[in-house]
A and B are shown apart, each in its own frame.
Chain A
Amino acid sequence: MSVNQATSLTPPLISVTNLTCIREERLLFDQLNIEINAGDIVQVEGPNGSGKTSLLRILSGLSQPFEGEVFFNQQLISQSREEFHQDLLYLGHLPGVKGEMSAAENLSFNLTLQGAPNNAVNIEKTLSAVNLTGFEDSLASHLSAGQHRRISLARLYKSTAKIWILDEPFTAIDKQGVRALELLFKAHIKQGGCVILTTHQDLLTFEPEQVKKITLDYVFD
């Protein structure tokens, strides 16, 4: 199953061949083929337990599939790990925020680890972009779950990575925040990036035909 084959002149950013995934002896998906190009926004859909998170984790290289390969720029991701991870930003269910560090410290560490440029001034700016003005120096353990999520989403504003893989980015985010994020996605794909995400909400700022969909369902054969 391919998402977009129209622009076959430029090689796809990510391509997946014959992907099979088994979790707890259950077949989640079988022989999946996907191509994702620069400028794509891809929404992975499916009922609970259909393997959405597993697919995103396999795409990001965190999990190994039962069978099949994931390519980045036509190279196996296991063989071009450093290049791939330099161009990848993955946000999972867990925000990856340490309670013992302040919001600013958390963001600064995550950005530096990822190799994104940052200094005290633009950290403050970035945090204000996700509505955390005034919370820069409070320890993350004093903040709410939604604020944790926003600390981790703040990285999107400074990210130099082309590929964004986001697992339920809108949970615990208010309507206004969702809108801001969608605008951010739009800017990102315009710059030649791609976004792969799971969400139960519809992406309102996008035209329906603009969003590529991958629908997962229970498979038995």
Chain B
Amino acid sequence: MWKWLHPYANPEVSYHFTGKILPWLGALATLFLSIGIIWALAFAPADYQQGDSFRIFYVHVPAASLSMGIYFGMAIAAFTSMVWQFKLADASAAAMAPVGAIFTAIALITGAAWGKPMWGTWWIWDARLTSELILLFLYLGVIALHNAFEDKNLAGKAAGILTLVGVINLPIIKYSVEWWNTLHQGSTVSKLGKPSMSIDMLWPFVFCFIGFALLVATIICIRFRSEILTRNSIRPWVRTLVSEHLSKHIAQEKNNAI
């Protein structure tokens, strides 16, 4: 079952493969994001209740769901690396952590900027916000652990353990805060009646969401490639690649000088 995956488990192959798809990912991300953001800012209708502040939605919601999604991906990578001793999985987890942290921070900041005019406060200790904040702490812990070990392989394993412990912790925290502070008492405190999101608001959201997802994929790809290089720095293919790259660089500088 895993056989077809095997060629991609080779660091060299995946380095070159990600190098090939990277420009396409980047171009698609730019396309979707520019359409989505312009549509969201200038053309989407304002919400009947929240007015134009509703436009924050187009950054906030994709960032929040991607921050969770990236953590989930990181946990899967940690699990694969632990069970199947799959070194590339560690590299991908290391590539995901900073991206996830930044998107969690974006979700928190945009959430606060939206909450201030709408709820009347920058911050509420409710289930979603608190668990998102803990998610940020977990990301920071994982990053700190990655940096604390000199040996990247060990760092990957240690961070993997923390990631998996965090996965169990996240739903507990979400649930615990729901009990402790019941501002989000689901159906009872929400408005009555159920009009779904109107279609001319939904389309820009779809574009924004796909655009952000592609952007995340692009950045993870870039970081993943650097991680592969650091972890395989003694391999001959990395050596030749580096020397080729450097000689090209030197030639370019000479050209510039002339």
Contacts and interface: CB of A to CB of B under 8 A. Distances in A.
Contacts of B153: 64, 66
B150 interface: yes
Interface in B117-153: 150-151, 153
A24 B153 CA distance: 10
Interface string A127-142: 0000000000000000
Interface in B147-170: 150-151, 153
Nearest to B152: A25
B258 interface: no
A64 B154 CA distance: 9
A86 B153 CA distance: 28
A145 B234 CA distance: 39
A190 interface: no
A24 B234 contact: no
Contacts of B34: none
A27 B151 contact: no
Interface string B74-117: 00000000000000000000000000000000000000000000
A27 B153 CA distance: 14
Interface string B219-243: 0000000000010011000000000
Nearest to B154: A64
Contacts of A64: 153
Contacts, number: 11
Contacts of B233: 25
A23 B151 contact: yes
B150 A22 contact: no
Contacts of A66: 153
Nearest to A23: B151
A24 B230 CA distance: 11
A66 B150 CA distance: 14
A64 B151 CA distance: 12
Contacts of B151: 22-24
Contacts of A23: 151
A25 to B, nearest CB: 6
Contacts of B234: 22, 25, 27
Contacts of A24: 150-151
Interface in B12-46: none
Contacts of A22: 151, 234
Interface in A60-94: 64, 66
B160 to A, nearest CB: 14
B57 to A, nearest CB: 45
A76 to B, nearest CB: 12
A107 to B, nearest CB: 32
Most buried by A among B153, B233, B234: B234
Interface of A: 22-25, 27, 64, 66
11 contacts: A22-B151, A22-B234, A23-B151, A24-B150, A24-B151, A25-B230, A25-B233, A25-B234, A27-B234, A64-B153, A66-B153
Interface of B: 150-151, 153, 230, 233-234
Given A25-B233, A25-B234, 9 more contacts: A22-B151, A22-B234, A23-B151, A24-B150, A24-B151, A25-B230, A27-B234, A64-B153, A66-B153
